[in-house]
């Protein structure tokens, strides 16, 4: 005769299976998370540094990152300030991207997570192609962050979690000091704070049209004088540009950074330094300071003004 299983035993067996299934799902999620953290933490050399100049971001602190990470961080910052978001919002966004992807635009993650913020197409964040566009993904993050009431007064972990709904919400907190240091430099509040030393092998990979197009992508069309070409061609230098060089105007109405020069100028200058490897930029000059590939920042003998950021490309 077939054995009859008592209802209580059937219930116990079913509960055990459910617990095992849930435990397996958790293990898969943890494995995916650890894989992302391992991969994002093991690539690239530290070709860039950002240093604090005041006590608000931690006096004497230095944070090192790769050119790829610096370029992504500069894009995240530019998208935020262009949307009118404060420095605190940029700090929250950078800490989130540091945790989720190590500031790398990766094409994998837990389940269908992708990109700098590990956003998921299945959860309505956009298509795979959109999410792997740093400008788009940063914009979506800020869009959701702006909808969080009083986000600038919340602990960073809570503000980030309101957007991300992460399974590891406390992990964002450990990145706050580095994110604050980056934000102070990339929003332009701290002058000459970001330095990169990309390899010479990248020289000549840009072109003024490519730089102009990248500026417009990150900061919007108003970043350049009217009439600037941004279609990716490089046939005739537009207004504010000569062959291999261009000048990006700085509004006089921009708030002052430490030292007195308009903060917007330092934001643009640091963006150019962060993008120097990707765009083949050799020289950036602003407010009496000049950055050279391989030499870093130094004071110019003949001071450059504060009405524009000068960018020269590798020849």
DSSP per-residue codes, 96-134: HHHHHHSS---S--STT-BTTTTB-GGGTS--HHHHTSH
Q: Can you give the three-state secondary structure of 52-71, one letter per residue?
A: CCCHHHCCCCEEEECHHHHH
Beta bridge partners of 285: 290, 310
Asked if residue 130 lies in contact with residue 141, where contact means CB atoms within 8 angstroms, the answer is no
pLDDT at residue 25, as a whole number: 42
SS3 253: coil
Q: Taking Cα atoms as reference points, which of 246, 288, 292 lies closest to residue 273?
A: 292
**DSSP-derived pairing of the beta strands 194-196 and 48-51:** antiparallel
249: part of which helix (H) or strand (E)? Answer: strand 245-249
pLDDT at residue 15, as a whole number: 57
* Rounded (10°) CA dihedral 14, 20, 22, 27: -170
pLDDT at residue 290, as a whole number: 96
- What angle (nearest 5°) sits at the alpha carbon of residue 282, between those of residues 279 and 284? 100
Instruction: Report the sign of the C-alpha dihedral through residues 146, 149, 155, 157, in that order.
Output: negative
User: How does pLDDT run along the chain (315 residues), one tens digit per residue?
Assistant: 444 445 545 445 555 555 554 444 434 343 344 344 434 443 446 799 999 865 444 457 899 999 999 999 999 999 999 999 999 999 999 999 999 999 999 987 677 889 999 999 999 999 999 999 999 999 999 999 999 999 999 999 999 999 998 878 789 999 999 999 999 999 999 999 999 998 865 555 558 999 999 999 999 999 998 655 454 444 444 444 456 899 999 998 888 888 889 999 999 999 999 999 999 999 999 999 999 998 999 998 766 788 999 999 987
Two tokens at 77? 């910052």
pLDDT at residue 169, as a whole number: 79
pLDDT at residue 259, as a whole number: 81
pLDDT at residue 227, as a whole number: 56
Can you say whether residue 79 is alpha, beta or left, with left for phi > 0 and alpha for psi between -120 and 50 degrees? Answer: alpha
pLDDT at residue 29, as a whole number: 42
Residue 90 burial (CB count, 10 A): 26
């Amino acid at each position: 005769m077939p054995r009859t299983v008592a209802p209580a035993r059937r219930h116990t067996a079913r509960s055990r299976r459910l617990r095992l299934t849930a435990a397996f799902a958790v293990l898969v999620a943890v494995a995916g998370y650890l894989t992302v953290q391992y991969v994002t933490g093991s690539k690239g050399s530290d070709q860039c540094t950002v240093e604090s100049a005041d006590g608000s971001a931690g006096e004497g602190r230095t944070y090192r990152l790769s050119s790829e990470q610096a370029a992504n961080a500069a894009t995240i910052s530019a998208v935020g300030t262009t949307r009118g978001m404060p420095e605190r919002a940029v700090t929250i966004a950078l800490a989130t991207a540091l945790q989720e992807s190590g500031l790398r635009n990766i094409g994998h993650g837990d389940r269908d997570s992708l990109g700098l913020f590990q956003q998921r197409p299945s959860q309505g964040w956009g298509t795979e192609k959109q999410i792997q566009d740093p400008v788009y993904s940063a914009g979506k993050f800020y869009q959701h962050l702006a909808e969080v009431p009083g986000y600038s007064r919340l602990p960073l972990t809570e503000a980030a979690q309101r957007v991300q709904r992460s399974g590891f919400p406390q992990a964002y907190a450990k990145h706050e000091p580095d994110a604050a240091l980056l934000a102070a430099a990339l929003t332009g509040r701290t002058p000459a704070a970001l330095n990169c030393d990309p390899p010479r092998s990248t020289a000549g990979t840009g072109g003024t049209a490519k730089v102009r197009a990248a500026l417009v992508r990150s900061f919007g069309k108003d970043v350049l004088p009217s009439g600037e070409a941004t279609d990716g061609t490089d046939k005739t230098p537009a207004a504010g540009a000569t062959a291999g060089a261009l000048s990006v105007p700085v509004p006089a109405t921009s708030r002052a950074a430490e030292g007195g020069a308009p903060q917007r100028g330092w934001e643009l200058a640091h963006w150019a330094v962060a993008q120097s490897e990707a765009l083949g930029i050799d020289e950036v000059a602003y407010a009496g300071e000049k950055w050279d590939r391989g030499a870093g920042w130094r004071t110019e003998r003949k001071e450059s003004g504060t009405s524009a950021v000068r960018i020269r490309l590798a020849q």
